[in-house]
Amino acid sequence: MVPSILFVCLGNICRSPLAEAAFREEARRLKLDAVTDSAGTGNWHIGSPPDPRAQAVALNNGVDISGLRGRQVKPADFRRFTHLVAMDHDNLANLRRIAPPDATAKLSLLLDHVEGRAGQAVADPYYGEDDGFDVTWADVTDGARALAVKLLRHKI
């Protein structure tokens, strides 16, 4: 079965699109066949492109996310994807709360997949300075790399 991963944050304009981009790059590098997308638990940014600062940090790291658009998590996502990966505890709790009874996706935090970082949240850069996006990029890159390796080795 081809793994399919939905990365989830609150608004789907910062952390989750960056995680989606980092994972796509890592999957490409490892030649891992996987489906990926991102979404938010909130509805404020449906149809919006990623935050310009997120676009800039991704582009500085060789990835163009300008074509991504915000969307909200839907009940069907819990069956469509094999994994729903939240960026923080609040969004993980929201996913658990809205999961339909027939949900099949495994839920986790992104950094749960990084050795020594289980239980940690990806830094939310939205209300901070531009350099916070570099910290977030480092977090999602670490998480994406670890998740891709686990999926490649069928460890999850």
For every residue of 62-73, DSSP letters joined together read T---TT----B-
Cβ contact 153:32 at 8 Å = no
Task: Say if residue 154's pLDDT is above 90.
Answer: no
Q: Which residue has the tokens 């979404």?
A: 39
Q: In what order do the strands lie in the sheet with 35-40?
A: 35-40, 4-9, 83-86, 106-109
| Given 37, 88, 124, 142, the catalytic residue | 124
- Look up the pTM and report it: 0.97
What is the number of other CB atoms lying within 10 angstroms of the CB of residue 19?
Answer: 30
Please indicate whether residue 124 is annotated as part of the active site. yes
pLDDT score of 156 more than 80:
no
Structural domains of the chain, with CATH: 4-152 (3.40.50.2300)
pLDDT at 37: 98
What's the pLDDT tens digit per position in 36-88? 999 999 999 999 999 999 999 999 999 999 999 999 999 999 999 999 999 99
User: pLDDT, tens digit, for every residue of 82-119?
Assistant: 999 999 999 999 999 999 999 999 999 999 999 999 99
Q: Is 9 a catalytic residue?
A: yes
The residue among 117, 112, 103, 143 whose CA lies nearest residue 15 is: 143
- Our answer to whether residue 77 is catalytic in this structure is no
Other Cβ atoms closer than 10 A to 148:
25
Residues pairing with 109 in the sheet: 86
